[in-house]
């Protein structure tokens, strides 16, 4: 889901962590989209909610470091656009190609459909909720959306837009006071829509911006306060115990962003000897963006009905292959020379 462009750092495992998180989302969606009980282990162990929230925490840390290492706000947003948009456009094109080839409408009817136009325009501006489907596509599938992963991108963009304000508040006031205010604001949003609002789509609204801000701001605080990195293990242990053993829903809601953020950032700070996945490129973003329409397309042609394991294998193989292609031909060419991945690929 989530792309980064930060100052080159050798001693971390964030590339590996993000690939693992992207694979968790992959297997979670594999279970949800196929709706096959034989994938029960993925439904039980592949927690997409944790993975997405972990992405936001890592994003808060790495993107804040990118902001602090930028030459100004314009430079920062230019790097964000260069990193996010090429692969995102690639995902939209993939969805359109799959839809055009599989739609029950003929090619002319599909192209002229107002739904197709609305899909393109809405998704170009990250507003996929306005038109998540395309005409005549996946109508027999358990879920009809073209790419259910895209909802997080608009949230990510909103978080980027907030970062200059967050940095200002961190510099203007006590960082802990600013952190507490922003963290509380995010939690109040989630609490209101989950427990007070009577809207039908209240849970959907709760997870939108600023509902994910609590995870992002935890990562941002670590970027501003590097000394906190040495306390992440302790914070993860304490908050993890509180989260796992507490039975009060509101208390768990407060502790969860701290626990999720601390655990993924702690693991990300660890060094896995000799892996250095960064030299192969950042395929986690591609894994996140492309897997959903690929799985949907294979469901449409009934590959999973023919052989469940073959469907899973082909889905993963195609997703990884497309992610590698996307990195080398869509994403990397648009990055600045100062990008971490441009630097690390030379080693």
- Is residue 5 one of the residues assigned to a domain? no
- Is residue 70 one of the residues assigned to a domain? yes
Separation of alpha carbons 67 and 85, rounded Å? 18
Identify the domain containing residue 325 by its residue range. Answer: 14-344
φ, ψ of residue 31 to 5 degrees: the values are -70, -45
Q: List pLDDT tens digits, range 10-22.
A: 578 899 999 999 9
**3-state SS, residue 231:** helix
The angle at the Cα of 78, spanning 76 to 83, to the nearest 5 degrees, equals 100
Asked whether the CA dihedral 8, 14, 20, 26 is positive or negative, the reply is: negative
Q: How confident is the model at residue 8 (pLDDT cuts 50, 70, 90)?
A: very low
Contact indicator for 15, 3 with CB cutoff of 8 Å? no
Contact indicator for 138, 104 with CB cutoff of 8 Å? no
- Is residue 6 one of the residues assigned to a domain? no
Q: How many CA atoms lie within 13 A of 333 on its CB side?
A: 7
**3-state SS, residue 83:** helix
- Is residue 201 one of the residues assigned to a domain? yes
Q: List pLDDT tens digits, range 250-277.
A: 999 999 999 999 999 999 988 665 566 6
Is the pLDDT at 74 greater than 50, yes or no?
yes
Which tokens is 205 given? 């609204």
- Is residue 7 one of the residues assigned to a domain? no
Separation of alpha carbons 15 and 12, rounded Å? 8
How confident is the model at residue 4, as a pLDDT?
47
How confident is the model at residue 12, as a pLDDT?
83
Kindly report the pTM of this predicted structure: 0.93
| Count of the separate structural domains present in the chain | 1
Separation of alpha carbons 282 and 15, rounded Å? 7
Q: List pLDDT tens digits, range 86-135.
A: 999 999 999 999 999 999 999 999 999 999 999 999 999 999 999 999 99
- Is residue 1 one of the residues assigned to a domain? no
Is the pLDDT at 191 greater than 60, yes or no?
yes
- Is residue 92 one of the residues assigned to a domain? yes
Going from the C-alpha of 19 to that of each of 27, 205, 257, 286, 288, the distances in angstroms are 12, 27, 20, 10, 9
- Is residue 9 one of the residues assigned to a domain? no
Which tokens is 163 given? 């970062």
């Amino acid at each position: 889901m989530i792309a980064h462009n930060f100052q080159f750092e050798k001693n971390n495992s964030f590339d590996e962590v993000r690939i693992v998180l992207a694979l968790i989302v992959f297997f979670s969606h594999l279970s949800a989209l196929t709706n096959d009980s034989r994938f029960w282990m993925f439904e039980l162990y592949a927690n997409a909610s944790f993975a997405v929230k972990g992405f936001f925490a890592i994003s808060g840390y790495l993107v804040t470091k990118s902001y602090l290492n930028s030459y100004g706000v314009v430079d920062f947003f230019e790097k964000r656009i260069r990193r996010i948009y090429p692969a995102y456009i690639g995902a939209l094109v993939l969805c359109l190609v799959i839809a055009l080839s599989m739609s029950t409408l003929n090619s002319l009817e599909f192209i002229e459909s107002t739904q197709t136009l609305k899909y393109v325009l809405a998704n170009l501006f990250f507003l996929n909720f306005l038109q998540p489907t395309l005409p005549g596509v996946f109508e027999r599938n358990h879920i009809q959306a073209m790419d259910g992963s895209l909802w997080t991108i608009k949230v990510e963009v909103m978080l980027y837009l907030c970062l200059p304000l967050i940095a200002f508040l961190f510099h203007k006031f006590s960082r802990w006071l600013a952190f507490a205010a922003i963290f509380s604001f995010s939690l109040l949003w989630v609490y209101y829509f989950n427990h007070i609002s009577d809207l039908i789509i209240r849970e959907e609204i709760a997870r939108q911006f600023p509902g994910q801000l609590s995870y992002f701001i935890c990562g941002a605080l670590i970027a501003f306060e590097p000394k906190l990195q040495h306390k992440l293990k302790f914070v993860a242990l304490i908050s993890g115990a509180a989260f796992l053993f507490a039975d009060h829903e509101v208390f768990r809601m407060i502790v969860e962003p701290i626990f999720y953020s601390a655990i993924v950032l702690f693991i990300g700070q660890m060094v896995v000897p000799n892996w250095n996945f960064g030299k192969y490129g950042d395929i986690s973003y591609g894994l996140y963006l492309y897997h959903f329409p690929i799985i949907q397309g294979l469901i449409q042609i009934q590959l999973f009905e023919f052989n469940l394991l073959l469907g899973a294998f082909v889905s993963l193989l195609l997703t990884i292959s497309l992610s590698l292609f996307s990195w080398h031909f869509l994403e990397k060419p648009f990055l600045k020379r100062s990008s971490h991945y441009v630097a690390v690929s030379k080693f």
